[in-house]
Structure 1
């Protein structure tokens, strides 16, 4: 993350920019200077979760009770010294950074392969040097922090930009994270989470001013340096030859530095002595070998400019020509605003459309004239942009183009005071019920997204920003979602990837969220782009997944009914929709009889065992037993739990189950929160080591009483849950049998066929064909399930 090689350079060449500070002392000094103003630390949560996860066990699916306790200790340490924490999580992957996201996912896949190789060879968890975060850690961290009463936001653009922007607010002591981009942003001090000692609140502060002194640069030069060195926006190879020329001309090469360190010094020297010599006289593109990459380079530099900031490297009357997205862009600069201005010639209309890069919003903005209001409306230029919404539709290409959003809007949800508009309360947290009033800003009326109703979109945006929903707003605004790596063994695919297991649920929720467009387009005709990691997926293109119709008794209610109305009848309808998304409507009466906290668990288990035929009776008993036994365990007891060995299949099953819990978060928030979110938070329902213990015991043939640790009070609840799951499976002609009776040949459809890779296809497999679910070839991939096909032991998808 951040600027290539900068972290190592700072440690080896500029250690003086790192200063040990005590956050308690900083907070006290702040209060003495600013009475009544609480000192604040903005936390880049995505940088910190690896450091927060301190439990020794991580491979079994996550030690969630231990993790929740660690988060509580972290929060309490700051609360005791009066420091307010504001957490920011990634809400999207920007299109400019998609390639980098894919590169990291591929790297993670290789790491996961090595983890499973180690488990199979040694029968134990690898050391911390191979640590891989448990599935769903970011999602559940966000929800855990909210349960602890913390302010946790989900970003509407790149999270580090929102973190740096919040750092400009009064009272901010620093940004806590581990990303060298925070040395580049001109914001508050950068504090290292890696060096934080929670007991003393000592950490290392990295000073960008001292870095500039060492490099003979100014703070406003740092974005230019970052882009020339390469970062998450600018590909590493773009300026490789330029950096080599700088290094060749650099006369102060230090022998004690590695090549990367000398390159940083050489590029900084070139900026200070060569580029700055002609600053204001020559255009930047005349001094740099930008070639066809001008637009990307300018966008990269502008991405570091926070609200109210400008770059001295954007000059007056600069012109350049480049081709971007098959449009001809003419770059120039407005003499008054000093903003980059590009002229875009529409190939259909032959009209020029003015564009600019707003240094405050770090987005390329094109201006179009609304035919009704005659006013210019800003729009984002990249049709693949993941920036949030308004969007317009090109009448020729019929492609949706997202419109520019005011950067001030990124964390503030607009509130309207129109007395005619009813206030809406829709929150998963009974203690923190946010009142959200949909905004009736006339500009939003021009918004065209995957969902055209501005009121509904506003509610979805609010819950996204406040971290109370998962994936819902991404589907409704951009029609694009992603899911990172899961601990899945690509060489032993007796269990299918979670990407496929839960896809039918997602497809039904897509149909619910997208509804019918104002243009008459039915939701089932729209495709959602899914970037999911699974074995054999090269991630060159997203899977194009179509929604599936949902069969709800009495008809599917609208989102306005589910989200904007209250009452017991509406809550019952929400539960109906949730059951329909899992195709469990016929089980409503049986599920209503299940005690509330176990209802979500029961829904998930039924879905899993109907969908995956390679799950057996031992798996079911282990999952139920661990959930029931967990209720009586203390955190200390879970920490002390020891395992005889690690089973690779149990590792994958634990991850598959936890991904089911994240799917429940998605479904529950989409349906208007029919279930209490705490009922299926993993720290209340799942422990990786405890599940692994029950799995190993069940494999050995332990009795139910032994699995329940001779706790007779749990026996009735166990048999009740098991009965509901077995009964539901029988209705789908699915008999849950003991895996011990199957023999070694019964390993699942994909395990020993063909190349061993599991891929989506545009059609359906049939039982007995003996063919895996194949990738249809390069290019666009269209993926859709039928309404209830499951992973079958008979080498196909069967009813």
Structure 2
């Protein structure tokens, strides 16, 4: 949450409330104070700083390149240096990350996602017009940054907590309970909570370990309130629970009264005047001798719905051990009985533990909440050739839901598995998916039903808690079955785990995205192979003559896929170490972009693999495996070199908006929500002759000239990109699909 205008008020109108502090000195003073108070040895020896991880992401990701999918190895170095700066000063860090979006905050979450969508659209238009990354005014975090940062910090030996409630609330509660030296973040709610001192990450000088402390005690003295009255002030000013609009009439009345009594006060500082006016109102609502509390006085002019809303807003600031309001227990955790009955109590407990300790991904939201969400991804809403990631990975998510929620039973007979289906998805409520993608208005969640694994439904308790080589093999088989890549389990142990997962992911993308070309696959695989030999400095020095918007979207698509690999791995009982699924082991945005430009310009494999014979051999092996896996499912990769011209203007046909063409939304709705057929028009005709790189021949086209690109077997985005309900919709094809597609 955040209080509208409070921080700027403190900085501009009450500068004495903003105190520059040295964190080393603050830690020393905290230890001395703790020793005088006879606290535990642990608290005395380790001054603890609670870090709001979500607020730090924009400050941590200082890498120059951000649109290409992320400079993950460079980012890891940044995190390592950041952590070492504090640990060298004897400061213990505990990182908190948002783990849920509470329903009372859903509309605010949606509003912010829509706003970011606007920035993403501007970013892609800039890239297509200029061929370069836009300035920081359009900066967007690389896709999946919050998810993978949690694992990165854990790999650095840090304590990481993923919230099961509002993260701000849990941060303030933890800091108060453990007498922490401070909360490092960027949210004025930490001024309102009666907890540890609030320290600004935006003002942090990591080289000096100095920042600004926003002092709530000095603030209260400046505006004439008690700390217990700050929650009411916050709600009347407006926050994420109580919007400004709901309390506008209260503020208007307060401003009128304040101006009457203080006609010359703070002229030219409307925000300061507003905060002071509301502060005077709050102060006047109680008699001077009565206890000042966070309760709502009856004299406040509110309707019944407004009073209930204000109660919810104030209750969000009351921490455990503080005075409870009479309208109920605000600390009670939500539950979803419809899903809890589907799993054992041991699974429920493990789901929560994995979630809180940031060891798992996706399983808690599915099993315990029945809802998951995914924030903005760098996707071009004007590019109809590539499906949005939410739809690309929907089939594998359905398999994950099925593995978690559909009952199954596995019998071990003579070293082999006999999988029996028990139950179905018919009586299961659908998972509510709040995924941001072009065309989704986010007015309601997508309702997505679980689907059984292609290889059969194993017992979740056996996968999570079983032991022995048979169970290990079952876990691995379940993981690859989620992505319909069962045969890849044979490569386990033969190649590095990170390369195996990269191969699984690229194979899955090739099967789901029919417009993915051989050149795209070569770019994905060559960068994964070459990345193993490069240090962060080498990756930073890669030169890109220009940027291609399609490569930008493919980079984000890959990274979002890694998060689905994480979810599948967790649901399958963790057959692979989580480190193998991290982007810094298989992806670098700048390296991928360079490989994409090379592949689409017709570069030979030796050039793609940087004249390294061992890398070339490994690359060819991976590509052959992928090609065979796709071929068994009727998917034949086509060579479609699409070398972008080094131009700062979009070509006439690049936006697919020719006269008379029906839009993707109209075509999809006309098809009843399925993928509508769409004829592709490319910017240039394909060359005739010559072979496809990698030994695959290009099909022979009729002598009449360049082929009609409707033969590409492409999917169109239809029905507002949405396919609702339990049915898994098959794509339509302009040619009859081969068996297995």
> TM-score category by the smaller chain?
0.7 to 0.9
1:473 aligns with 2:352: no
> In 1, are the aligned partners of 2:6 and 2:188 still within 8 Å (CA)?
yes
List alignment gaps of at least 5 residues for structure 2. Answer: 36-40, 410-421, 645-650, 680-709
Q: Offset of 1:707 from its aligned partner?
A: 1.1
CA–CA separation in structure 1 for the residues paired with 2:616 and 2:235: 62
**1:198-249 deviation per Cα after TM superposition (whole angstroms, max 9, x unaligned):** 1111111110011111111110000001111111111221011111111111
The match for 1:557 is: 458
CA–CA separation in structure 2 for the residues paired with 1:538 and 1:264: 35
1:288 aligns with 2:296: no
1:157 aligns with 2:103: no
Q: 1:278 to 1:776 in 2, by over 3 A?
A: farther
1:179 aligns with 2:187: yes
CA–CA separation in structure 1 for the residues paired with 2:76 and 2:225: 44
- TM-score of the superposition, structure 2-length normalised? 0.85
CA–CA separation in structure 1 for the residues paired with 2:56 and 2:363: 24
Task: Name the stretch that deviates more: 235-244 or 480-489.
Answer: 235-244
CA–CA separation in structure 2 for the residues paired with 1:623 and 1:63: 15
CA–CA separation in structure 2 for the residues paired with 1:248 and 1:468: 53
The match for 1:388 is: 334
Q: 1:582 to 1:608 in 2, by over 3 A?
A: same
The match for 1:340 is: 326
CA–CA separation in structure 1 for the residues paired with 2:663 and 2:311: 44
> In 2, are the aligned partners of 1:494 and 1:747 still within 8 Å (CA)?
no
Q: 1:622 to 1:243 in 2, by over 3 A?
A: same
1:683 aligns with 2:627: no
Choose the corresponding residue for 2:724, options 762, 770, 782: 782
Name the SS of the counterpart of 1:239 in structure 2.
helix
Q: 1:747 to 1:129 in 2, by over 3 A?
A: closer
- TM alignment of 1:657-668, pairs within 5 A: 657-668=558-569
Q: 1:671 to 1:236 in 2, by over 3 A?
A: same
**1:714-764 deviation per Cα after TM superposition (whole angstroms, max 9, x unaligned):** 111010000011111111111111113899999999999633459799753
CA–CA separation in structure 1 for the residues paired with 2:520 and 2:601: 12
Task: Name the stretch that deviates more: 744-753 or 698-707.
Answer: 744-753
> In 1, are the aligned partners of 2:562 and 2:583 still within 8 Å (CA)?
yes
Q: 1:551 to 1:263 in 2, by over 3 A?
A: same
Q: 1:279 to 1:238 in 2, by over 3 A?
A: farther
CA–CA separation in structure 2 for the residues paired with 1:283 and 1:587: 62
CA–CA separation in structure 2 for the residues paired with 1:521 and 1:575: 23
Choose the corresponding residue for 1:533, options 436, 441, 451: 436
How many residues align? The count is 671
The match for 1:380 is: none
CA–CA separation in structure 1 for the residues paired with 2:453 and 2:423: 17
The match for 1:77 is: 85
Choose the corresponding residue for 2:402, options 511, 514, 523: 511
Q: Offset of 1:274 from its aligned partner?
A: 3.7
CA–CA separation in structure 1 for the residues paired with 2:145 and 2:540: 19
Q: 1:704 to 1:644 in 2, by over 3 A?
A: same
The match for 2:622 is: 721
The match for 1:309 is: 322
- TM alignment of 1:187-202, pairs within 5 A: 187-202=195-210
> In 2, are the aligned partners of 1:750 and 1:757 still within 8 Å (CA)?
no
Task: Name the stretch that deviates more: 193-202 or 3-12.
Answer: 3-12
1:705 aligns with 2:597: no
CA–CA separation in structure 2 for the residues paired with 1:746 and 1:792: 23
Q: Offset of 1:508 from its aligned partner?
A: 0.8
Choose the corresponding residue for 2:486, options 585, 588, 592: 585
The match for 1:451 is: 342
**1:24-61 deviation per Cα after TM superposition (whole angstroms, max 9, x unaligned):** 11122233344542100001101111111010110100
Task: Name the stretch that deviates more: 558-567 or 757-766.
Answer: 757-766
1:246 aligns with 2:250: no
Q: Offset of 1:783 from its aligned partner?
A: 3.7
**Greater fraction of residues in helix:** 2
> In 1, are the aligned partners of 2:408 and 2:459 still within 8 Å (CA)?
no
CA–CA separation in structure 2 for the residues paired with 1:70 and 1:784: 44
Q: Offset of 1:487 from its aligned partner?
A: 0.4
Task: Name the stretch that deviates more: 24-33 or 91-100.
Answer: 24-33
- TM alignment of 1:391-540, pairs within 5 A: 391=336, 449=340, 451-516=342-407, 522-524=424-426, 525-540=428-443
Choose the corresponding residue for 1:739, options 615, 636, 640: 640
Task: Name the stretch that deviates more: 764-773 or 192-201.
Answer: 764-773
**1:144-184 deviation per Cα after TM superposition (whole angstroms, max 9, x unaligned):** 00111100011010000010011113451100000000000
Q: Offset of 1:796 from its aligned partner?
A: 11
> In 2, are the aligned partners of 1:546 and 1:784 still within 8 Å (CA)?
yes
CA–CA separation in structure 1 for the residues paired with 2:522 and 2:653: 20
CA–CA separation in structure 1 for the residues paired with 2:160 and 2:734: 43
Q: 1:150 to 1:591 in 2, by over 3 A?
A: closer
Q: 1:630 to 1:147 in 2, by over 3 A?
A: same
Q: Offset of 1:680 from its aligned partner?
A: 2.2
Q: 1:113 to 1:673 in 2, by over 3 A?
A: same
Choose the corresponding residue for 2:551, options 650, 656, 666: 650
Choose the corresponding residue for 1:233, options 236, 241, 245: 241
List alignment gaps of at least 5 residues for structure 1. Answer: 311-337, 342-355, 364-386, 393-399, 401-447
CA–CA separation in structure 1 for the residues paired with 2:7 and 2:638: 54
Choose the corresponding residue for 2:76, options 64, 68, 82: 68
The match for 1:273 is: 284
CA–CA separation in structure 2 for the residues paired with 1:242 and 1:31: 44
Q: Offset of 1:585 from its aligned partner?
A: 2.3
- TM alignment of 1:93-104, pairs within 5 A: 93-104=101-112
Q: 1:651 to 1:785 in 2, by over 3 A?
A: farther
Q: 1:750 to 1:786 in 2, by over 3 A?
A: farther
The match for 1:410 is: none
Q: Offset of 1:584 from its aligned partner?
A: 1.7
